[in-house]
Structure 1
Amino acid sequence: MFLPLYDSNPLTYVTRPYVNWALISITILVFVVFQLPAAEGQPDVLAAAFGIIPSVLFETRVLPPDLAFIPADLTLVSYAFFHGSWMHLLGNMLFLWVFGDNIEDALGHIRYLVFYLLSAAGGGYAHALFNATSEAPLIGASGAVAGVVAAYLILHPRVKIWILALGRIPLRLSAMWVLGAWVLMQIYNLVVAVDSEVAWMAHIGGLISGAVLVLLLKRRDVALFDRGLDLS
Structure 2
Amino acid sequence: MFPISDDNPEPGRPLVTWAIIAVCIAVFLWEMSLPADEADRALLQFGAIPAALFGSMAVGAVPVWATIFTSMFMHASLGHVGGNMLYLWIFGDNVELAMGRVRFLVFYLVCGAAAALAQALQAPESIIPLVGASGAISGVLGSYLLIHPFGRVRVLIMPLPFFVRVVTVPSLVVLGFWFIIQFLSGLSSDGAKGGVAFWAHVGGFIAGMVLAPIFKRRDVPLLQRGTPRIFDARRGDERRDGGEGPRRGPWS
Alpha-carbon distance in 2 for matches of 1:77, 1:39: 24
Matched to 1:155, the amino acid is: I
Structure 1 residue 193: Cα displacement: 3.1
CA distance in 2, matches of 1:40, 1:75: 21
Q: Secondary structure at the match of 1:73?
A: helix
1:187 paired with 2:186, answer no
Query: Which residue, out of 95, 98, 119, partners 2:90?
Result: 98
Task: Give 2:28's aligned residue.
Answer: 31
More strand by share: 2
Q: CA deviation at 1:199?
A: 1.0
Give secondary structure in 1 for the equivalent of 2:126. coil
What's the secondary structure of 1:172's corresponding residue?
A: strand
What is the TM-score of this pair, normalised by structure 1? 0.92
Deviation string, structure 1 residues 18-38 (Cα, Å, up to 9, x no partner): 000000000000001x21012
SS in 1 for 2:13: coil
Give me the whole-angstrom Cα distance separating, in 2, the residues matched to 1:44 and 1:226.
44
Deviation at 1:129, TM superposition (A): 1.5
Q: How does 1:36-115 map to 2 (within 5 A)?
A: 36-63=32-59, 68-115=60-107
- Amino acid corresponding to residue 5 of structure 1 in structure 2: I
Runs of 5+ in structure 1 lacking a partner? Answer: none
The aligned residue for residue 230 of structure 1 is 227
Task: Quote the offset at 1:204 in angstroms.
Answer: 1.1
Describe the SS at the equivalent of 2:22: helix
Kindly provide the amino acid, as one letter, of the partner of residue 54 in structure 2: F
2:240 alignment partner in structure 1: none
Shift in Å, 1:6:
1.3
Aligned pairs, number? 223
Q: Report whether the alignment pairs 1:19 with 2:19.
A: no
Q: Quick one: distance in 1 between partners of 2:133 and 2:35?
A: 19
- CA offsets 1:145-185 (integer angstroms, 9 cap, x no match): 10011001101111111111249321111101111100110
Is 1:199 the counterpart of 2:197 in the alignment? Answer: yes
Tell me the CA shift for residue 196 of structure 1.
6.4
Where 2:124 maps in the other structure, the secondary structure is: coil
Report if aligned partners of 2:80, 2:132 keep a CA contact under 8 Å in 1: yes
Match of 2:113 in 1: 121
Instruction: Supply the AA of the counterpart residue of 2:148.
Output: H
Runs of 4+ in 1 over 4 A off after TM superposition: none
Supply the AA of the counterpart residue of 1:83: H
**TM-score normalised by the chain length of structure 2:** 0.85
